[in-house]
């Protein structure tokens, strides 16, 4: 399979300013057209930084180490046109004093749409909101959290981008609303042939969405690979621990649940070894001494010294 | 259910007014909680479950209904009597960053209830704080850290220690793990499970996450628009949910393939 | 980083505080430098500045020393500014706390009173008050405070109302803490800092109001004031404009120093309010 | 519809506020030396017997409560009492002076608001740049200038030295100018007082707008708008500026009161026959009923301005009236 590569990272890292520790470092992976990549990590892991870097939306003043390339876009992606981005907070990403239809039309017009107001209504229909004409006249505060996030999704699609990045786009919502929205995102990507990057802290949500998975931990890429392989045969102990600590509806009340003891290291702390070593059940002496190399292929491997198949 | 109820609430009713419209937050809710058990209250946001938690603790004043805690009519209490009685029922909030006084230290937070209820002799405070921190798995060395200088999981442990200080028989846990990272969530759930096993504290566990509820609950009530729409043992509710609201909540739990 | 270090890191604040400190020294030592009554006649009328070095800034149309008046005027300006602001802030904070904590009809009536005071222009109120009770220094202070307390009252009330709803206050109620202790330990320490950043604006406003009152002849008649000097100079504005301009410059730089210091205080406070 | 509900609610809130102002004014009146009869007799002449007669007729010999009731009932008939200084009813004098003050204040606030907010946007465009530093420091300095002193300096420079503009008054007296010519004359007379009165507010709006712009820049919707590919200029003017303007608009109502206070000195400096100068004249001639009349009319002006500002705000911000949750 040699689908066109949209974004390629080679040893990429990001620092928000010179004095700060790297928010993410040493990431190598690539994303081809039509793929859906779920980026999993907890707060402070650097998953949002990774998403912003892939979207070419890093704030001014941040520095990029290594290489980030967008072969299909011929240079950095044009915001809105090449990449659509949905932020986490559904109430914060809309202008509170402008009708949502006008906001949609504004973005559509900025990308050369000749008939932006008609298109705004179509976009609202596309994100499956009821009564699009009426919804277009609503102000953000008149909509529910889920409805606002659908509008944010429509806004991200208004420039007809080929890549969509959803950064914890569903985490602030109720589980029921979250599920419906996640399904809508996948459906829209399928029908429009969009490439998706879906950032989440929930590995089970990621499992239902992604064709590929990347797991980040404490500013490092821990593991990446096809979703099926990562879920059934994790190569990094952190991925394995995340899978075990998932609480599905089938885990009965018991004495205890699976937990990862300890907590992630302070990002400012320079560690010579693997950043997960202190919490890792499989850690050996070398893990604390030197950072593990990448094992496996670039888009299917893990940053761990354990032999493949060990954790199955 | 044979154990006697230590928390009995009947006909709890509360309405809010929003931009001219009247919205029922609680509409005739009944709750029974037995010693040492965990009753989970689940529902979508806006279902009234948080209002229920706050109403039981008298942080929100009800329009109608009765609440009996340990046999006493909790809603009839006022002033010093109410403050003294509050010992029996404590609360852990969703976001520990908001629930601890930002100017406080671990020690001041944990020692407050001890001082308010005169639970320790002069000079015994340090030992009492150390014992409480130990129960939530924190070293005594943490006592003089400012609460903004510790991690989210540690803050939630401090909040639990504060709640334990008055030796309550009931803990109201309002989404106690939903603001925490996955890797920390398990630790806090285990801490709560261990505490309950050792000390027979009853939990009123508010949550929207059916996965978490499955792991902790003995019984479940499902709320929707201020009413209880389903009520049963955890096993029954998870095996054969009767209300559409409950089925929807269950369907929303993402599942891992093969599990 | 401590608040003091943050203040020192703000160039505006350092310059302002430096200026303010030198004005304060001038105000304190004015009677030492010019022990005589600044209202006494020391030379010929309308001596221009930098001509006669016994009266370096010249004299007014009665032959009174402008520099002596300027130095003594600094005392009045700063005294009135500080005390009026102090009274306004204490009164405002007390009303704001009472309204925010008690709620209900007490809050409602206190807020209506606050609104009524905001509806009447503060300067007109001061004017009316002084014309009724007569101009003396304490009354001028009180008159100015009368028009300035509403700002702090509203800010403090809003802060108290928002803090009252925070979870850590709910947590204090849950553990059975006494309402007085909750107000004192949990609410007030978080409600008052915003008023501190308002203080410089109030001090500056009070100094300017005092000057305007004196300019209109409603200051304490037994004291030299900058506003009074400007009014005095106004009668000879066309021939000797320096008599009005110089005291105005003193007024301007004092107020500017207060504002600059305020910028420094805001910078110093900014660092401490975040909680993550 | 939202506006109508808002106005009716605000009007209801005005009643107690106005009542407090009226009662407060009454007490100030009571506290001052002399009463309405003394005032009347000063201008008309008369002996003690006439004074007692008048006091009985006007009800001034009754209890304080009865006098308050009388005061209120005469207010209801737009009777603000008798002015000694002018030997005319207070209400006539006050209403005669009101238009000049409204013109002066309206022009000053409109110019200050317009120029201040635009300069604030400019300053916030690149925080920390030379333009921003200059505007920020300049506005802080202007903010420290006493308005009446600025007035004197402007007179010295533009009227005395350069002889460009008139130094006082509202128009050239007995010039016989009509229509546009008269308007031009008034405008020339307004330039200096408007500058003296409005400069401080220009500085204030500049600083507030700058702070609001910088604050709004940090909002998520700005980052999101840029990420959607909207040009920076469009984001700045259509989204950031519009949102940052809202707090400034709410300040306008409060500023009406403070500006009315400021007009007292400015009108005195420029000899503008307005409400502010009238207040000064009333104080100088110890004409308390006149002063309190100015205060009452001033309060009504402020209330009207606040009402107008509320409507403007409701039009600018669709969230107004949606209302926060309150216990039923």
- Asked if B210 lies within 8 A of A258 by C-beta distance, the reply is no
> What does the block give as tokens for C125?
């109120």
Q: Is A184 on the interface with D (CB under 8 A)?
A: no
Q: pLDDT per residue over C182-233, tens digit each?
A: 999 999 988 888 888 889 999 999 999 999 999 998 888 888 899 988 988 8
Nearest Cα residue in chain B from D319 = B19
- Please return the burial class of D258, using the count of CB atoms within 10 Å of its CB with bins 0-12, 13-18 and 19+: buried
Q: How many domains does chain C have?
A: 1
pLDDT at position D122, please? 94
Task: Point out the residue among C171, C172, C176 whose CB comes nearest to the CB of B84.
Answer: C176
Three state DSSP letters for D108-159 = HHHHHHHHHHHHHHHHHHCCCCHHHHHHHHHHHHHHCCCHHHHHHHHHHHHH
Q: Mean per-residue pLDDT for A185-199? A: 94
Contacts of D262 in chain C (CB under 8 A): 123
Residues of D in contact with C258 (CB under 8 A): 144
For A307, counting Cβ atoms within 10 Å of its Cβ (0-12 exposed, 13-18 middle, 19+ buried), the class is: exposed
pLDDT in tens, A25-65: 999 999 999 999 999 999 889 999 999 999 999 988 899 99
CB contact under 8 A, D221 and A92: yes
Average pLDDT, chain A: 91
The distance from CA D18 to its chain's CA centroid, rounded to whole angstroms, is: 17
Percent of the residues in chain C that have a pLDDT greater than 70, as a whole number: 96
Q: What is the mean pLDDT of residues A273-297?
A: 90
Inform me whether the pLDDT recorded for C276 exceeds 50. no
What is the number of other CB atoms lying within 10 angstroms of the CB of residue B123?
Answer: 7
Q: What is the pLDDT of residue A77?
A: 93
Tens of pLDDT, residue by residue over B184-200, are 899 999 999 999 999 99
Find, in chain C, the residue whose alpha carbon is nearest to that of B59.
C170
Mutate to test the interface with B, among D1, D323, D324, D327 (most CBs of B within 10 A): D327
Reported as a pLDDT band with limits 50, 70 and 90, residue D85 is confident
**What pLDDT does residue D161 have?**
87
Reported as a pLDDT band with limits 50, 70 and 90, residue B1 is very low
Flag if C248 and D260 touch (Cβ within 8 Å). no
User: pTM higher than 0.95, yes or no?
Assistant: no
pLDDT exceeds 50 at position B122: yes
Chain segment B78-109, per-residue pLDDT in tens:
899 999 999 999 999 999 999 999 989 999 99
Contact D28 C129 (CB under 8 A): yes
A97:D227 CB<8 A: no
What's the mean per-residue pLDDT of chain C? 86
pLDDT at residue D324, as a whole number: 44
| A265 vs D: CB within 8 A | no
A207 chain-B contacts, CB cut-off 8 A: 254-257
- Is D152's CB within 8 Å of C237's CB? yes
Interface test with A, best of B21, B42, B211, B234 (most A CBs within 10 A): B211
pLDDT band at B115 (very low <50, low <70, confident <90, very high): very high
The pLDDT of residue C1 is above 60:
no
ipTM beyond cut 0.85: yes
For residue D1, the model assigns a pLDDT of: 55
Largest CA distance in chain B: 58
State the pLDDT at residue D42.
67
* pLDDT class of C53 with cuts at 50, 70, 90: low
In the block, residue with structure tokens 């925070």: C166
* Mean per-residue pLDDT, D23-31: 83
- Give kind and range of the element (H or E) at residue B207: strand B202-207
Question: The domain that contains C223 carries what CATH number?
Answer: 1.10.3720.10
Residue in chain B nearest D322 by alpha carbon: B19
pLDDT of residue D325: 41
Following DSSP, what letter does each residue of B10-61 receive, concatenated?
EEEEEEEEETTEEEEEEEEEEEEEETT-EEEEE--TTSSHHHHHHHHTTSS-
Q: What is the mean pLDDT of residues D2-28?
A: 82
Strand partners, C41: C64
Which chains neighbour C (Cβ–Cβ under 8 Å, 3 or more pairs)? B, D
Interface test with C, best of D17, D136, D278 (most C CBs within 10 A): D17
For A102-161, how does the pLDDT look when each residue is reduced to its tens digit (9 = 90+)? 999 999 999 988 889 999 999 999 999 999 999 999 999 999 989 999 999 999 999 999
Mean pLDDT of A83-98: 89
**Of C257, C209, C205, C240, nearest to C21 (Cα)?**
C257
Of D321, D322, D328, the CB nearest to B16: D328
pLDDT of residue D251: 87
Q: Beta-carbon neighbour count of residue C137 at 10 Å?
A: 17
Any CB–CB contact under 8 A between D32 and chain C? yes
What average pLDDT does the segment A80-109 reach?
A: 92
User: Does residue D327 register a pLDDT over 70?
Assistant: no
What pLDDT, in 10s, does the model give residues B213-249? 999 999 999 999 999 999 999 999 999 999 999 999 9
Share of chain D above pLDDT 70, in %: 92
What's the whole-number average pLDDT of chain B?
Answer: 92
Question: What's the whole-number mean pLDDT along residues D53-79?
Answer: 77
**Shortest Cα distance from D56 to chain B (angstroms)?**
52
Residue C246 has pLDDT above 70, yes or no: yes
Question: For chain D, which residues lie within 8 Å of any Cβ of chain B, measuring from their own Cβ?
Answer: 321-328
In degrees, rounded to 5, the angle at the alpha carbon of residue A81 between the alpha carbons of residues A75 and A87 is 105
Task: Read off the pLDDT of residues A240-276 as tens digits, 9 standing for 90 and up.
Answer: 999 998 888 877 777 788 888 888 888 778 888 999 9
Question: Residue B149, class by beta-carbon neighbours within 10 Å (0-12 exposed, 13-18 middle, 19+ buried)?
Answer: exposed
The runs of H, that is alpha helices, within C134-183 are 137-148, 150-164, 167-174, 179-181
B211 vs A contacts (CB less than 8 Å): 246-249, 251
Helix and strand tally (H, E) in chain D?
Answer: 13, 3
Q: Which residue of C has its CA nearest to D160?
A: C238
pLDDT at residue C56 tops 50 = yes
pLDDT tens-digit map of C24-43? 888 888 777 777 777 777 77
Domains of chain B (ranges, CATH numbers): 1-88+169-175+202-254 (3.40.50.300)
What domains does chain D contain, in order, with CATH numbers? 90-327 (1.10.3720.10)
**D25-29, D61-65, D148-152: least confidently modelled range:** D61-65
pLDDT of residue B163: 96
Of the candidates C167, C173, C181, the beta carbon closest to that of B98 is on C167
Tell me, what's the pLDDT at A307? 83
- Would you state the pLDDT for residue C37? 73
- Cβ neighbours of C186 in B, within 8 Å: 101
On whether any CB of chain B is under 8 Å from the CB of C190, the answer is yes
Distance from the D90 Cα atom to the nearest Cα atom in chain B, whole angstroms: 44
Residue range of the domain that includes C115: 3-44+52-275
Residue bearing the bigger pLDDT, B255 or B226: B226
Average pLDDT over every residue of C128-136: 88
In terms of Cβ atoms closer than 10 Å to its own Cβ (0-12, 13-18, 19+), residue C111 is: buried
Give the mean model confidence (pLDDT) for residues D205-229: 94
Give yes or no for residue C45 having a pLDDT over 60.
yes
CB contact at 8 A, A296 and A233: no
Q: Which residue of D has its CA nearest to B61?
A: D327
| pLDDT at residue C13, as a whole number | 85
CA C6 to chain centre: 24
In this predicted structure, what is the pLDDT of residue B137?
Answer: 92
Q: Cα(A45)–Cα(B181) distance, rounded to whole angstroms? A: 11
Look at A57 and D227 and tell me if their CB atoms are within 8 Å.
yes
CA distance A139 to D285: 57
């Amino acid at each position: 399979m040699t689908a066109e590569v949209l974004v390629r990272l080679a040893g990429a890292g990001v620092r928000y300013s010179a004095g700060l520790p790297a928010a993410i470092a040493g990431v190598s992976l690539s994303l081809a057209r039509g793929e859906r990549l779920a980026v999993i990590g907890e707060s402070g892991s650097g998953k949002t930084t990774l998403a912003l870097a892939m979207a070419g939306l890093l704030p001014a003043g941040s520095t990029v180490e290594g290489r980030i390339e967008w072969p299909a876009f011929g240079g950095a992606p044009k915001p809105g046109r090449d990449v659509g981005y949905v932020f986490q907070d559904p109430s914060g990403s809309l202008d509170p004093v402008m009708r949502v239809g006008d906001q949609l039309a504004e973005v559509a017009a900025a990308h050369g749409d000749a008939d932006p107001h008609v298109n705004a209504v179509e976009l609202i229909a596309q994100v499956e909101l009821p009564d699009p004409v009426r919804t277009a006249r609503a102000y953000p505060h008149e909509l529910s959290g889920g409805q606002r996030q659908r509008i944010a999704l429509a806004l991200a699609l208004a420039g007809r981008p080929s890549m969509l990045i959803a950064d914890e786009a569903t985490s602030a919502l109720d589980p029921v609303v979250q599920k419906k929205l996640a399904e809508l995102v996948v459906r829209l990507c399928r029908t429009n042939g969009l490439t998706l990057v879906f950032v989440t802290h929930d590995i089970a949500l990621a499992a239902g969405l992604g064709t590929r998975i990347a797991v980040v931990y404490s500013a490092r890429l821990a593991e990446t690979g096809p979703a099926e392989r990562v879920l059934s045969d994790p190569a990094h102990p952190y991925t394995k621990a995340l899978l075990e600590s998932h609480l599905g509806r089938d885990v009965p009340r018991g004495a205890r649940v699976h937990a990862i003891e300890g907590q992630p290291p302070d990002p400012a702390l320079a560690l010579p070894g693997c950043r997960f070593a202190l919490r890792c059940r499989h850690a050996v002496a070398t893990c604390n001494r030197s950072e593990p190399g990448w094992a496996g292929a670039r888009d299917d491997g893990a940053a761990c010294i354990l032999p493949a198949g060990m954790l199955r | 259910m044979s154990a006697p109820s230590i928390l009995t609430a009947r006909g709890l009713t509360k309405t809010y007014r929003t931009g001219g419209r009247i919205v029922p937050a609680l509409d005739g809710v009944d709750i029974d909680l037995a010693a040492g058990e965990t009753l989970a209250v689940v529902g979508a946001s806006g279902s009234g479950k948080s209002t229920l938690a706050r109403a039981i603790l008298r942080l929100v004043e009800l329009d109608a209904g009765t609440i009996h805690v340990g046999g006493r009519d909790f809603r009839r209490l006022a002033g010093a009597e109410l403050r003294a009685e509050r010992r029996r029922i404590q609360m852990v909030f969703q976001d520990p960053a908001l629930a601890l006084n930002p100017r406080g230290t671990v020690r001041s937070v944990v020692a407050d209830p001890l001082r308010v209820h005169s639970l320790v002799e002069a000079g015994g405070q340090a030992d009492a704080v150390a014992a409480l921190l130990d129960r939530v798995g924190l070293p005594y060395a943490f006592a003089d850290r400012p609460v903004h200088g510790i991690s989210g999981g540690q803050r939630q442990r401090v909040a639990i220690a504060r709640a334990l200080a008055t030796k309550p028989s009931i803990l109201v846990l309002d989404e106690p793990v939903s603001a925490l990272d996955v890797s920390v969530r398990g630790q806090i759930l285990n801490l709560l499970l261990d505490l309950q096993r050792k000390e027979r504290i009853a939990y009123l566990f508010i949550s929207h996450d059916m996965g978490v509820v499955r792991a902790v609950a003995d019984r479940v009530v499902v709320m929707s628009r201020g009413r209880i729409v389903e009520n049963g043992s955890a096993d029954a509710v998870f095996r054969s949910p009767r209300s559409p609201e409950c089925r929807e909540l269950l369907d929303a739990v993402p599942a891992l393939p093969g599990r | 980083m401590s608040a003091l270090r943050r203040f020192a890191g703000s160039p505006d604040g350092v310059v302002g505080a430096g200026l303010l400190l030198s004005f304060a020294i001038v105000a304190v030592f004015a009677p030492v430098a010019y022990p005589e009554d600044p209202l006494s006649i020391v030379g010929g009328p309308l001596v221009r500045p930098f001509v006669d070095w016994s009266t370096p800034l010249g004299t007014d149309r009665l032959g009174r020393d402008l520099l002596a008046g300027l130095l003594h005027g600094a005392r009045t300006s700063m005294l009135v500014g500080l005390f009026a602001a102090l009274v306004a802030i204490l009164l405002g904070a007390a009303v704001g706390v009472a309204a925010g904590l008690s709620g209900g009809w007490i809050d409602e009536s206190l807020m209506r009173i606050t609104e009524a005071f905001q509806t009447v222009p503060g300067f007109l109120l001061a004017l009316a008050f002084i014309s009724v009770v007569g101009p003396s220094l304490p009354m001028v202070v009180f008159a100015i405070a009368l028009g300035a307390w509403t700002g702090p009252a509203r800010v403090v009330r809003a802060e108290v109302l928002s803090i009252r709803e925070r979870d850590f206050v709910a947590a204090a109620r849950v553990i059975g803490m006494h309402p007085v202790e909750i107000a004192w330990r949990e609410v007030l320490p978080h409600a008052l800092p915003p008023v501190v950043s308002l203080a410089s604006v109030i001090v500056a406003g009070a100094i300017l109001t005092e000057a305007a009152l004196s300019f209109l002849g409603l200051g304490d008649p037994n004291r030299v004031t900058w506003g009074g000097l400007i009014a005095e100079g106004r009668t000879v504005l066309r021939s000797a404009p320096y008599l009005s301009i110089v005291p105005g410059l003193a007024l301007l730089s004092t107020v500017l120093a207060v504002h600059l210091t305020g910028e420094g205080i805001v910078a110093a406070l900014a660092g401490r309010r975040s909680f993550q | 519809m939202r506006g109508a509900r808002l106005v009716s609610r605000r009007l209801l809130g005005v009643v107690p506020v106005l009542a407090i102002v009226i009662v407060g004014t009454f007490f100030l009146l009571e506290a001052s030396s002399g009463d309405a009869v003394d005032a009347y007799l000063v201008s008309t002449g008369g002996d003690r017997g006439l004074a007692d007669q008048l006091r009985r007729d006007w009800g001034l010999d009754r209890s304080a409560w009865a006098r308050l009731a009388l005061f209120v009932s005469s207010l209801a008939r737009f009777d603000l009492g008798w002015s000694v200084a002018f030997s005319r009813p207070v209400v006539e004098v006050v209403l005669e002076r009101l238009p000049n003050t409204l013109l002066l204040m309206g022009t000053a606030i409109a110019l200050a608001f317009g120029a201040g907010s635009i300069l604030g946007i400019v300053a916030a465009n690149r925080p920390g740049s030379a333009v921003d530093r200059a505007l920020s420091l300049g506005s802080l300095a202007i903010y420290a200038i006493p308005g009446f002193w600025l007035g004197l300096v402007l007179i010295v420079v533009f009227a005395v030295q350069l002889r460009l503009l008139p130094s006082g008054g509202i128009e050239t007296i007995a010039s016989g100018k009509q229509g546009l010519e008269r308007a031009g004359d008034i405008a020339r007379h307004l330039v200096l007082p408007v500058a003296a009165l409005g400069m401080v507010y220009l500085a204030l709006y500049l600083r507030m707008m700058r702070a609001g712009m910088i604050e709004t820049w940090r909002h998520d919707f700005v980052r999101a708008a840029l990420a959607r590919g909207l040009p920076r200029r469009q984001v700045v003017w259509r989204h950031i500026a519009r949102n940052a303007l809202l707090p400034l608009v709410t300040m306008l109502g409060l500023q009406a009161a403070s500006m009315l206070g400021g007009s007292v000195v400015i009108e005195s400096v420029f000899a503008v026959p307005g409400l502010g100068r009238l207040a000064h004249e009333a104080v100088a001639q110890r004409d308390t009923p006149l002063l309190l009349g100015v205060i009452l009319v001033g309060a009504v002006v402020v209330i009207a301005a606040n009402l107008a500002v509320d409507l403007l705000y409701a039009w600018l911000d669709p969230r107004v009236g949606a209302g926060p949750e309150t216990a039923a």
